Every structure is written in structure tokens, then in C-alpha cells.
Structure 1
Amino acid sequence: MDLPNVQGYVVSMEQQVALFEVVQAVITLQPGHHASAEFFAKSLFFMSVGSNDIFDHHDYNETTVSQPELMAALQSNYTAQLTALYDLGAWKFGIVSVPPIGCCPYARLQNLKANRSGCFAELNNYARSFHSMISALLQNLSSQLQGMVYSLGDAYTMTSTLMDDHLAVGIDNIEEACCGRGTLNAEKPCFTNDIPNLCPNRSDHLFWDMFHLTEYVAQKAAITLFTGGPTFVALMNFSQLAWASA
């Protein structure tokens, strides 16, 4: 989000909001700018953040920052950036929470190295805590910011449900990455210069690389976000959000 990223490859949420502010200013200065406020108010703003913060915290900062302290920092940053977007005219937010990141190939590999099997329970606990935090945050913020409406996609429940019944939707492998190298295809990333191992059929895998879902699974997730019921998307799905009055 906006916490220090050790790898240095991520554009922070704060930077993304700052870039949007530049675009918003340019659009507002165009002819017909009087309609820009309505344009932004009707637009959907999709956000999916938190996984990198949890991974970096667990890998590098866990001994100095507790889980409650991390969640408090994320809550503060998320609130600040959502409020900044609202002040720039964004009223409709489609938010996706953190999935069970402890079940990705990278996390499973860490478990194997520690002589454990299955998903990394501690990382999944962080993901569940994040969802609880963001749910309460959105309820509170929407009661304070007039006109704000939102949908919260529960990526944790969506992914867990899919994993529990993966064979029914044609997914044979929920543990290994399709692209990578080594154990679980998760010891090295899916980079061309590493000459990665590529699975024959990416659509029968849950994960494309050590962290990310395959396109097939991402499509299913998108359909659920736009058409799913309250088990997976609250307070409304993304399609209903598009038609909601801000």
C-alpha cells in the first residue's frame, strides 16, 4: 500500500492517487469541464491492495511490528487514500480484499522448508484480519462521506470456495505454479532469463506463477465480483454498484 516495499518494484497507493490527481486536473481543465464532477462521480474506482504489505511484513518486519500494528497502519493509509480520492470526485469504490495468500505456491514452499505441509496458516490469518479491518473501515467511512457507495469483494472466501471444489470447474492443480522453476515451480519466478518450466495447460492450474492466479481463474473471479451474491460481494456486486446512485 504505502508501507516501505523492500523489493522496490511496487507503485504505492499514495503514488497512484497522486497520479490520478494529475489526470483529474487535466480533465477538469478541458472544455466542458463543468461535467467532469458528474463524470468522476459516476465512474467506478477499483482497488485491490494489501497482499504485498503482508508478504513484506512477514518476510522482513515481523519481529519489529506486530500484526495489530500492521493492521492499524494499513487502516490509516487506506482511510487517507480513499478520502483523498473522494475529495477528488471519486464516489463509487469496488474494493477487493486479500485472498488466502498462505496457499499460493510461494507460501506453500516456505511451509515445506519448515517441514510443514499445506497452506501457510499465519499468512492466511493476516488475510482474514485484513478483510475484517477493511470491512469495518468501509462501513465507517461511507457513513461519514456523503454519497460514497462501495462493494467489497471477499477474495478470501471466493478463492477458498474455489479451492474446496476445484475439480468441478476443471482445475486439477491448486498447489504448483504453472510457470516457474524448482519445487512447486516456486523457487524461481516466471522470468524468461531463468528459462522457466511451463505447464502444458495453464487453465487447469489455480496459480500462474508463485503469487498470481491464472487468467482462467481471474476470469471466474471477475464474473463473481460483477454478478455474485452477498456471500462473495457486499453490500452489492460490482454490476449493481455501476448502477447505484452516488
Structure 2
Amino acid sequence: MVATYIKHIKTLYNLGARRLGILDVLPLGCLPISRVPIESGSCSGTDNWQARLFNRLLRREMTAAATASMPDLVYSIGSIYYTFYDMIKNPSSAGVREVARACCGDAS
């Protein structure tokens, strides 16, 4: 998945992009659809581990790819993982009341 992500960034670079803002992956294990199979309704540790692994690999591979084949690229990777995770763990500090249930669809 990281290789595909970087492939798309290289495509943008080849089209002339030289400045990019990139977002990492949010805590997928805390999405309502990931919480449904867990009896307690807590976040899926496995899904969150995979998201954190992706984020670490993204940073490492972006550094390598930019150095090797995109020398003029200026980029920043913003972490939405911890922004969302903090909001889920402390919803009132973000002005949110419900973080465990979906607003609609099957994951309620």
C-alpha cells in the first residue's frame, strides 16, 4: 500500500508538483465499522497497529523516494492519526459527544 501511495506521489511529481502536503492514515481501528465486531465496542488494536505501521513506513519510504528520485520535492507529512486518536480518547476536549457509533449505515 505504501508503494502505491508513493507511486501516486511520483506521478504528481512527474506532472510538475514540487510542494506537497501529505496526510498519514487515521486510527482505522477506532472507526465504527472496526468496533462492531468487538464486544466491548473498543477500538481494534490490530487495525490501529496496522495504521501506525503504514504511517511509519510512509515516512521512511517517502524520505528514500524523495532522496532517490524526487530531488526538488518539498513535502510535509501531517499526522491525522494522533489528532483523531486524541479526539476519540478525549471527545469532550474536541467538543464531541459520541465517538463510538456511526451516524448512519451499518456500523451503528
Distance 1:81 1:168 in 2: 36
Question: When the two structures are superposed, what TM-score results if normalisation uses the length of structure 1?
Answer: 0.41
Task: Provide structure 2 residue ranges, at least 5 long, that are not aligned to the other structure.
Answer: none
- AA of the residue aligned to 1:173: E
Aligned residue among 162, 175, 178 for 2:103? 178
The answer for the alignment partner of 2:20 in structure 1 is: 93
Once the two structures are TM-superposed, the CA of residue 168 in structure 1 deviates from its matched residue by: 2.3
The answer for the alignment partner of 1:128 in structure 2 is: 52
Task: Provide structure 1 residue ranges, at least 5 long, that are not aligned to the other structure.
Answer: 1-73, 188-246
User: Any idea what the Cα deviations from partners look like across 1:30-84, whole Å, max 9, x if unmatched?
Assistant: xxxxxxxxxxxxxxxxxxxxxxxxxxxxxxxxxxxxxxxxxxxx23222322222
Distance 2:31 2:25 in 1: 12
Name which one, 1 or 2, has greater alpha-carbon Rg.
1
**Contact 2:41–2:100 (8 Å) recurs in 1:** no
Aligned residue among 137, 141, 158 for 2:65? 141
Distance 2:29 2:105 in 1: 18
The answer for the alignment partner of 1:79 in structure 2 is: 6
- Structure 1 residue 154 corresponds to structure 2 residue 79: yes
What is the number of residues matched between the two proteins?
107
Superposition misfits of 4+ residues, deviation over 4 angstroms: none
Distance 1:161 1:77 in 2: 28
Question: When the two structures are superposed, what TM-score results if normalisation uses the length of structure 2?
Answer: 0.86
**Contact 2:91–2:97 (8 Å) recurs in 1:** yes
Identity of aligned residues (%): 28
Q: Pick closer, same or farther for the CA change 1:178–1:75 going to 2, 3 Å.
A: closer
Distance 1:95 1:170 in 2: 26
Once the two structures are TM-superposed, the CA of residue 99 in structure 1 deviates from its matched residue by: 0.6
Once the two structures are TM-superposed, the CA of residue 165 in structure 1 deviates from its matched residue by: 2.3
The answer for the alignment partner of 1:241 in structure 2 is: none
The RMSD of aligned alpha carbons is 1.7
